[in-house]
Amino acid sequence: MVIVILRQIQKIYPDKWDELEEIDKKFNEIEKKLGFPDTKKRYRHLMGTHSLNTLIVEYQFQSLAKLEKIMTKAVLDPEYQKLQEKSLSIIEDVQWEIYTPWPLVPP
């Protein structure tokens, strides 16, 4: 089994952090129904190459297949789609990255 980490790098509009907290509570409810792992972690950027208005959201999935299955369910779900649409006024930009432990097979 190969664990994968899905990372979202979100640039939040400066005056939207309070709204982000409210919408994230709704995302959490929907994600739970859709089978997202309970490994969700959020980090606010303090120093480095991103702006101070950057939020990192990470999930750990048990496999690429599970990530694909859950994300497919999410993008087809009407409630999830509505929240995604609503988040456009809060999140200026988002990048998605996928990581896996290295080496894939420990020595």
Q: What is the pLDDT of residues 47-90, one digit of tens each?
A: 999 999 999 999 999 999 999 999 999 999 999 999 999 999 99
Hey, what's the torsion of the CAs at 16, 46, 99, 38, to 10 degrees?
-60
Q: In what order do the strands lie in the sheet with 4-12?
A: 41-44, 54-61, 4-12, 91-99
> For position 1, what pLDDT does the model report?
58
Structure tokens at 94: 């988002």
Q: Could you tell me the pTM of the whole model?
A: 0.88
Q: Name the nearest CA neighbour of 12 among 1, 23, 28, 3.
A: 23
CA distance 80 to 34: 9
The CATH fold assigned to 4-99 is Alpha-Beta Plaits (3.30.70)
Q: What are the structural domain ranges in the chain? A: 4-99
